[in-house]
Structure 1
């Protein structure tokens, strides 16, 4: 098994850290070779706030993944989220001097590189520059400009920004574990890679990744990323509300949410009661499931309304921007009972739960067929995408070198490809001696011919 054909995704979340190894099989499906999971300590709402604890959690997840797969992990692609993430729309252009040549990959890289020089707020840096639509000279709405002729290349970009300190803290944690950071990817983009089909992206769809600390949104239309956003609420805040509303500890509140929680309060009756063990010999506490669902409903409703506000900001009411593909909910928070029905009721948009099983060769594995692992699976897929891009760049550079070499040969005469032989001093003396003897014999032959002529 070749190491370079294996990709490793590292999902650093608020509630858990997941390291996942995968490879592509002959059918293009992802085969997960191993996975490690650890409780996330030192991360709050997607942002590292304790370096030492985060390093320990990453190390635990990575070592477990290595044990399960029997492989050594050297480099990873990491997902990033958090309330420090923001995005903006930007337009830029370049002027091509050699407009008689077709637009090549190098022109696109130069245009994207120019966007990276964009002036940002202090303490921010660019995470992604995502092209949306190109314009070549006066021709607008160009999806793929490569191979076209033109002197001016222009594009609209979706630019994702993040706090430099947060990005560097993640890099420091990964490096401290002894790993190389190959790339950083916005987590909703990785999740979208895992759960959205090409048809959904074409029709218009909003991916909603409900994690422990944040809810991440990515909107696609015409196969182009149109909008991204991060809402600073997730599953943990629901657990906190249950803890405060039912007067129980956090571990009990999480267990109550997972086993008996529902986002739809009308499903439970007043008579349905759950008994929670008391602390240190105290009496058990009885909790009404209807009351529990009312607490969950209030917070979930707030999250979905924030999501719908982001969709409206994109312009969903506009006929051209209508999201025919509706909502796709994923992440650990999407497992909450009756969440899909509540989302449809609030937004009026068709909703489904997103699973990554269709991209996996072992997708029937119960452990992997889980919405909370979609980001990690998407990061593995992004890892293969990045390696293919790097390979393409290397191949193009090799082709450019060959073409330059061939261009330099044009107009020159054909020469022998035989390697020149080095002549030593001894060989040089022998060569001169042979030439001297040769000239002597030639002179003697001329004199001999002259003597014969005279005698005749």
Structure 2
């Protein structure tokens, strides 16, 4: 695979998407190929049937390869699912010498300390995101590097997940004949694809309504402040329609997509849809009003749970207010009148998020559907990793050159701090290599 190419693999509950993208000369991303398959082995964002998931991954990958006419070797994958939870934690270190300035090593030491947090059995820290620092009691410091101080504290947003679930995803990818290039938290990926920098500064909640889970990511002052995964999404709406109207799932899904609305007042009493009965049975007549009542009840439940999480973050405090409101994305965001309902329940400004924030202008309309937010985000993340690898190789070369005897003294290049996800990816890779 050539450089500045990346492949995102979104392993969802309803669909698996493989997407190949590359950076064009303007720094925008062009999507070269996309493959999609029905996801059979995933329940609520967690793999529960390895064999089926591997087949679905291979199918999506082959479709994307055919569309782009190239071979996929490695992928960046997203993790979500009901096992993800997040917590706030503060920690501090005391520096032995307060007459030197704070550097990367101090911050690494502080972050590694957070890693010693005691988790529930089987859980592992996926992400440690520093929120703000304190140096010798002086609060609200965004970047402590270069400052003097004896005591360095920070508040952290810690994301935790079940390590077995993450390894299972790794296993599926490996068995599908692919390399695991990187792991990213799905709400983070989606937010990169649909949110603008201004929104992240002003304060915004991204709600990604998938088939099996609804992910939430809250940003303020450009930093992620809160993440949560709510263990239901569009599938429970389909379930309810199926039960409420006594029809089969396929029909319920079609009804939801074609005629569904989250706002019952919209439909007249006399609007009726007729559904063919099962072999030799009478067709069923369903009023759209009843249909939207069923949908409405479920959507309200999902939105209210998300709103509880937004309040938990502290949206009601002046300092934490989310000025840019809510952005809805994911396949579930395509439901008619959802935006109005969310505004009504939360009282916050709402828009639908299309993943075109970083895509090249002439991208296909299909690709910019909210359905593909996570996949586009994973491609962006993969491209970022590519860039980082290039920079690191470049620096390695410079260091080697600099160490050759020369007259002038070169500045040592700055090494970028590796994120937890990179470390986690390596751990999962090592585990898979040794677990044969």
TM-score normalised to structure 2 length: 0.88
* 1:344-423 matched pairs, under 5 angstroms: 344-362=343-361, 364-393=363-392
CA-to-aligned-CA distance 1:102-149 (integer Å, 9 cap, x gap): 544454444333333332111001111112112334443222233444
Q: Which residue of 1 aligns with 2:86?
A: 87
The answer to whether the Cα contact below 8 Å between 2:4 and 2:387 also exists between their aligned partners in 1 is: no
Question: In structure 2, what is the equivalent of residue 4 of structure 1?
Answer: 3
* 2:267 paired residue number: 268
Contact 2:205 2:326 in 1 (8 A): yes
> How far is 1:369 from its partner?
1.6
Mapped partners of 1:353, 1:196: distance in 2 = 10
What is the CA-CA distance between 1:259 and the residue it aligns to? 0.3
Cα-to-partner distance string for 1:160-186 (whole Å, 9 max, x where unaligned): 111111111101000001111122111
Partner residue in 2 for 1:323: 322
| CA spacing shift, 1:159–1:403, aligned 2, 3 Å | farther
Q: Which has the larger radius of gyration?
A: 1
How many Å apart are 1:249 and its aligned residue?
0.2
Q: Are residues 105 and 383 of structure 1, via their aligned partners in 2, closer, same or farther at CA, if it must alter by over 3 Å?
A: farther
Partner of 1:114: 113
Higher helix share: 1
**Are the aligned partners of 2:35 and 2:64 in contact in 1 as well (CA < 8 Å)?**
yes
Match of 2:16 in 1: 17
Secondary structure at the aligned position of 2:357 is classed as helix
Q: Which residue of 2 aligns with 1:166?
A: 165
The 8 Å contact of residues 127 and 184 in structure 1, kept in 2 or not, is answered as no
Length-normalised TM-score, structure 1: 0.84
Partner residue in 2 for 1:422: none
What residue ranges of structure 1 are gaps of 5+ in the alignment? Answer: 411-456
| Number of matched pairs | 409
Alignment partner, residue 235 of structure 2: 236
Structure 2's unaligned 5+ residue stretches are 410-436
* Displacement of 1:388: 3.2
State the partner residue of 2:419. Answer: none
Deviation string 1:358-393 (CA, Å, 9 cap, x unpaired) is 311155412112001000001111112233344445
Q: In structure 2, what is the equivalent of residue 305 of structure 1?
A: 304
Greater relative contact order (CA < 8 Å, ≥ 6 in sequence): 2
1:171-213 Cα deviation digits (max 9, x unpaired): 1000001111122111111111011111111111110000000
* Aligned residues of 2:92 and 2:152 also touching (Cα < 8 A): yes
* 1:188 match: 187
**Which secondary structure does the structure 2 equivalent of 1:199 belong to?**
helix
Counterpart of 1:188 in 2: which secondary structure? helix
Aligned partner of 1:440 in structure 2 is: none
How much does 1:224 deviate? 1.2
Contact 1:198 1:223 in 2 (8 A): yes
Of 115-124 and 171-180, the range deviating more from structure 2? 115-124
Deviations 1:295-314 (A, max 9, x none): 00000011111111111111
Question: SS in structure 2 opposite 1:4?
Answer: coil
Q: Give the aligned CA root-mean-square deviation in angstroms.
A: 2.3
Q: What corresponds to 1:62 in structure 2?
A: 61
What is the distance in 2 between the residues matched to 1:340 and 1:205? 15
Q: Which residue of 2 aligns with 1:338?
A: 337
SS of corresponding position for 2:364: coil
Bigger drift between 303-312 and 2-11 goes to 2-11
Q: Distance in 2 between matches of 1:189 and 1:245?
A: 35
Q: Secondary structure at the match of 2:143?
A: coil
For the Cα contact (< 8 Å) 2:195–2:357, is it kept in 1? no
3-state DSSP class of the match of 1:171? helix
Q: Given the superposition, is the C-alpha separation of residues 69 and 150 from structure 1 closer, same or farther in structure 2, using an over 3 Å criterion?
A: farther
Change (3 A) 1:6 1:228: same
* Residues 371, 21 of structure 1: alpha-carbon distance in 2 compared, 3 angstrom cutoff: same
